[in-house]
């Protein structure tokens, strides 16, 4: 089971995670023979299971690994980089890829596991099994968060030690950056960081190295789950805070694309650090012509 989950990870990540991971063992896990939907090559028809319409967040070195590996996976990754959407220093993420329509994962492919980047997939995909038994779901969720933290530490190590390209540079330069990250971590040997928390580095996020938070914000409508009186945003699993009190919903509603965020925050029982975390995690973003009220 260890190889099934961690296979393809750089050696340093496997060392960091150790041999004592709490890995659920569920006989219902069978990606190769998915019983949820008989996919067709043209992706028309059938029912799309959750794993096939999710856009994974790939850390910079796993993007590079996929490129170095070649084949269909590399071509799919190159297509994502060429689009420029969600392409950044730390990872390639969804960006505006999800538009409210159930769309197949850009790395979906016919064949075993239905994944063109199986050996280079990220934390969420490694810890998601739609046929897992109910008792194992919480353990898989906890494992996914731990993997995401480890991935984030290593991705940030690349960003701090390397020379990533600036936003707006060519797809070729971004590809070169990701390939450098893959080669850099291949022989890297560092002490194990605190995997209970992701790294914190002011001015460095997945999409930008230095960018001040704008005065006007709008929510980006990320997926979330409710846990009692808390809300957990799935896209924030790799950040220092992924869960917030339900009061955050009222705050997000107050970010209307017109009022400055400090004005909206004045009526909420939350502090500025929450807004900073929401922005760094991509849960809120700058208002644009497409998000401004009409």
The whole-model pTM stands at 0.66
| Structure tokens that stand for 3 in this block | 């190889």
3-state secondary structure of 29: coil
Count helices and strands in the chain by DSSP H and E runs: 10, 7
**CA–CA distance, 251 with 231 (Å, rounded to integer):** 13
Per-residue pLDDT of the chain (294 residues; tens, 9 = 90+): 677 788 899 999 999 998 777 776 665 555 555 555 444 444 444 434 556 777 889 999 999 999 999 999 999 999 999 988 889 889 998 877 655 555 678 898 876 677 899 899 999 888 877 666 656 677 777 888 889 999 999 998 998 888 888 777 899 999 999 999 999 999 999 999 888 877 765 445 554 433 567 899 988 877 777 777 888 776 543 443 457 888 898 899 899 889 999 998 987 888 887 887 787 667 888 887 555 444
């Amino acid at each position: 089971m260890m190889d099934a989950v961690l296979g393809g990870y750089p050696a340093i990540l496997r060392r960091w995670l150790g041999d004592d991971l709490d890995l659920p063992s569920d006989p219902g896990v069978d990606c190769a023979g998915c019983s949820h939907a008989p996919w067709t090559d043209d992706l028309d028809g059938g029912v799309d299971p959750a794993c096939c319409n999710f856009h994974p967040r790939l850390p910079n070195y796993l993007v590079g690994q996929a490129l170095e590996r070649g084949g269909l996976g590399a071509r799919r990754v190159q297509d994502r980089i060429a689009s420029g959407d969600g392409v950044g220093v730390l990872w390639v993420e969804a960006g505006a890829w999800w538009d409210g329509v159930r769309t197949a994962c850009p790395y979906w492919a016919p064949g075993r596991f239905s994944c063109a980047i199986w050996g280079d997939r990220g934390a969420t995909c490694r810890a998601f099994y739609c046929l897992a038994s109910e008792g194992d779901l919480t353990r898989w969720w906890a494992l996914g968060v731990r993997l995401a933290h480890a991935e984030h530490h290593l991705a940030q190590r690349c960003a701090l030690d390397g020379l990533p390209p600036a936003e707006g540079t060519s797809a070729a330069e971004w590809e070169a950056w990701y390939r450098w990250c893959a080669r850099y971590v291949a022989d890297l040997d560092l002490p194990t960081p605190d995997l209970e928390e992701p790294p914190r580095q002011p001015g460095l996020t997945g999409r930008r190295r230095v960018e001040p938070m704008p005065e006007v914000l709008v929510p980006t409508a990320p997926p979330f789950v409710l846990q009692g009186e808390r809300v957990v945003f799935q896209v924030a699993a790799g950040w220092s805070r992924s869960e917030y009190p339900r009061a955050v919903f009222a705050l997000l509603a107050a970010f209307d694309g017109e009022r400055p965020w400090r004005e909206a925050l004045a009526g909420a029982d939350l502090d500025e650090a929450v807004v900073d975390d929401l922005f760094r995690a991509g849960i809120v973003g700058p208002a644009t012509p497409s998000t401004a009220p009409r």
